[in-house]
Amino acid sequence: MKYVHTTNAPEAIGPYSQGVIINNMFYSSGQIGLTPDGDLSGDDVATQTHQVFANLKAVLEEAEASLDTVIKTTVFLKSMDDFPQVNEIYGSYFVEHKPARSCVEVSKLPKDVKIEVEVIALVK
């Protein structure tokens, strides 16, 4: 087992790692809309969603994976009312490659953000 850490994504805000590699599979922790410095990227779901994908790309790169090797995503939304906007942004990151996905509404997320996304990916 190998723990993944990059300074190009925010530090974990608890006793966990940004991700773990086991048998050529990468499992990310949930990424929220914090900048690598730990500041909230913005109050709106669009800004937070783009930051989430920037963070995911950074941890995937550190794991020698990429959005193109993602096989499953889980999206947690504070409000399903944000689903259409998040879905459109999500589609801009997964254009031809379409991993399996789950999307659920939750009552609260860390730092009271609007979105959190975790991925499972193949390591190159």
Please identify which of the residues 71, 103, 122, 123 carries the catalytic annotation.
Answer: 103
| Annotation marks residue 53 as catalytic | no
Cβ pair 6, 61 in contact under 8 A? yes
Active site members: 103
